[in-house]
Every structure is written in structure tokens, then in C-alpha cells.
């Protein structure tokens, strides 16, 4: 997909204040660790995640999204009353109906002359939203819009700790719940517009998406049958290898689409799963890890917000600079892979 005239005008993120370390989680799981003779420190050792962040009060995804959205609007050259599209793209949502975007739209104080909708695609929702909004801008339907995501993994983590302690699981049967212990929280937003409205904006160049739905059973989450909350199970090892295999094919297609070689990307931002995923991904794609910026060590996996939060942090810290060619390597359960190129 070629993107002709769309730029990211501003990018902003919110990191919650409450810190849960991997040691904290293992302490909560001490009865399980003692019963199964699990070594302390394995959670951080296997993932590279030292800690993750949560809000220390009850919060709706729309409230988190709106906080990031207001920050992005304050940084933007686009007045809030000129925003024409509001896309909310997190895995977390306020409720099934109405769209969480409608709550975020109201909290941000946007105009009534706005298309308001949710875009849901697991951890890939933010990049999907960028491509959808870009298509609308390139086609002339609209001139500007905002993409927001607010992820709160605390209820899933607390529910996972509860069931790991309640159920008589074995070393084998705890494995599908391991990925849940890496989840964090955060919010992010991007104001996106036609290049004529933001001449110094970060230009989206194009992207490629591929699907491998034969592996849609590797990570599945839903409300449980008893109505006691959200549960998720993941075949982490199979997910890792199937995801990286799909990423390899997508990367080759992206290079062809953008006429890039591996060395052309100055900075590479990928989905934040953990250290094993990042190393295997970069090794398989033949990319230099020195070009990567990571946030999983201190934020964990924040779902659809993970990649754009990492990009926002990289820009904020000066790792991504004006003129850099940036590769965004997104993936989500399903499996779906979307990669975008941008000139910062």
C-alpha cells in the first residue's frame, strides 16, 4: 500500500504511575511457585520484563485514551474542532456497546462533525487505524483525524494470578497463562493529517499487511463462561515462531513496496512482547538490534499501545530524529502482521 500525502502531526503517550515488578508478581504467586518448585526470577529471566505499569485507580480505557489524546492535540498544529475522524483501537474497551471511541470523543471535547468508531484487531489496532485514516486522507474524504488507544491489563493480570492460585495446575498447564503475566497498561494518541496542514509532519510512506489465520487459535481471550472476568490463553512458543515467520514474509514485501534494503531503515520499532521475541525477530529479519528502541523492560506488553508508545518514547528521548527512516513492525494475534515505513 502506497501512502501519498499523510503525515503524523503529533504523537503523545501516558505511562501509569503504579509499578508492578516481576518480583512483585512472583511474590503474589509464591504458593504456586512453592508447590511446583519453580525458581524465583524466571519471569524476568524469560521475558526481559523487569516491571510493568498500571493506574492506581479504576479507569476506563476511554479515559486513558482521552488523556493521551488531549496531550497529542495540545502538541498538534491541528485545532481540536478541525478533527474529522476519531478512531479508538485498543483491545481494552469500556463496554460492548456503544463504541469506546464515543466516550473518548466526548472526553476530548471534539466537534460533533466527526466520524467516531472503534477499530479492533488485537495488538495491531493502532497501525491498522493509521492505514485506514491515511486512506481516508489520501482519498480526499477528510483532512485530519486522531487515533487513540488506552490499554489497561491490570484486570487480566489480577484475574490470572487468582486462577493460578485457585486451580490445581501443573508445570505444563500453567504455560498458557504465562503471557498474561507480561501485560501492562498505557495510553497513546496520534494526530494524523494531510501534509499540507503540517509541512514538518512525520511522513507515512507506505506499508504491507499479511494474514495467517491458520494460527488464530494460538492466542485467544474472552469473558469466561462463569462470568468472573476476562481470561486469555496463549501458546507462547508456537506464537513466537509463527509470528516471526509471518513477520519475515511481511518484511520482504515491505522492502519491495518501499524499495528499501535492510540497511535503509535508520530506526526499527517493533511490537513489545519481550527480549526473546525481539532477538529472534531481528535475527530472522537480518536487522541490527542497535537500531531498535525498547520499552518492554519497564512497561511490559501494552497491547495495541505498545509499538506507538515505544515510538513516542524513542522520539522523546532523541533516539528517533528528524529525517530518520523508521520501520514500524506490528503484529497481532490472529495472526496478522502490518509493517509501515515513515520518514520522521
Residues tagged active-site: 97, 123
- Angle CA 9–13–17, to nearest 5: 165
Cβ contacts of 162 within 8 Å, gap of 6 or more = none
What's 133's DSSP letter? H
Of 12, 317, 16, 64, the closest CA to residue 189 belongs to 12
8 Å CB contact between 327 and 267: yes
Q: What does residue 339 show for φ and ψ, rounded to 5 degrees?
A: -125, 135
Query: Measured in Å, how far apart are the chain's first and last C-alpha atoms?
Result: 19
Residue 55: CB atoms within 10 A of its CB come to 18
d(CA 183, CA 181): 6
Amino acid at each position: 500500500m502506497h501512502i501519498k500525502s499523510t503525515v503524523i502531526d503529533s504523537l503523545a503517550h501516558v505511562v501509569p504511575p503504579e509499578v508492578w515488578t516481576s518480583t512483585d508478581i512472583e511474590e503474589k504467586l509464591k504458593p504456586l511457585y512453592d508447590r511446583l518448585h519453580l525458581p524465583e526470577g524466571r519471569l524476568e529471566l524469560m521475558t526481559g520484563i523487569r516491571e510493568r505499569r498500571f493506574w492506581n485507580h479504576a479507569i476506563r480505557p476511554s479515559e486513558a485514551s482521552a488523556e493521551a489524546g488531549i496531550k497529542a492535540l495540545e502538541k498538534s498544529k491541528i485545532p481540536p474542532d478541525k478533527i474529522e475522524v476519531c478512531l479508538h483501537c485498543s483491545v481494552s474497551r469500556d463496554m460492548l456497546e456503544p463504541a469506546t471511541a464515543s466516550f473518548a470523543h466526548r472526553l476530548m471535547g471534539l466537534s460533533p462533525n466527526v466520524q467516531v468508531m472503534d477499530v479492533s484487531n488485537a495488538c495491531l489496532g493502532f497501525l491498522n487505524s493509521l492505514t485506514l485514516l491515511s486512506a481516508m486522507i489520501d482519498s480526499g474524504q477528510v483532512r485530519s483525524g486522531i487515533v487513540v488507544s488506552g490499554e489497561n491489563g491490570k484486570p487480566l493480570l489480577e484475574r490470572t494470578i487468582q486462577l493460578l492460585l485457585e486451580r490445581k495446575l501443573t508445570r505444563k498447564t500453567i504455560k498458557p497463562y504465562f503471557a498474561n503475566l507480561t501485560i501492562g497498561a498505557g495510553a497513546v494518541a496520534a494526530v494524523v493529517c494531510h501534509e499540507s496542514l503540517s509541512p514538518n509532519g512525520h511522513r507515512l510512506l507506505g506499508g504491507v499487511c499479511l494474514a495467517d489465520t491458520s494460527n488464530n487459535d494460538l492466542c485467544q481471550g474472552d469473558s469466561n463462561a462463569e462470568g468472573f472476568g476476562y481470561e486469555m490463553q496463549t501458546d507462547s512458543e508456537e506464537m513466537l515462531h509463527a509470528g516471526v515467520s509471518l513477520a519475515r514474509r511481511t518484511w520482504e514485501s515491505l522492502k519491495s513496496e518501499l524499495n528499501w534494503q535492510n540497511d535503509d531503515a535508520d530506526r526499527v520499532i517493533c511490537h513489545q512482547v519481550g527480549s526473546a521475541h525481539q532477538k529472534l525477530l531481528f535475527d530472522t529479519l537480518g536487522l541490527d538490534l542497535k537500531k531498535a528502541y525498547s520499552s518492554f523492560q519497564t512497561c511490559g506488553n501494552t497491547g495495541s499501545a505498545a509499538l506507538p508508545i515505544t515510538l513516542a518514547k524513542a522520539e522523546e528521548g532523541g533516539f528517533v530524529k528528524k529525517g530518520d527512516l523508521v520501520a514500524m513492525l506490528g503484529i497481532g494475534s490472529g495472526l496478522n502482521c502490518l509493517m509501515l515505513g515513515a520518514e520522521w
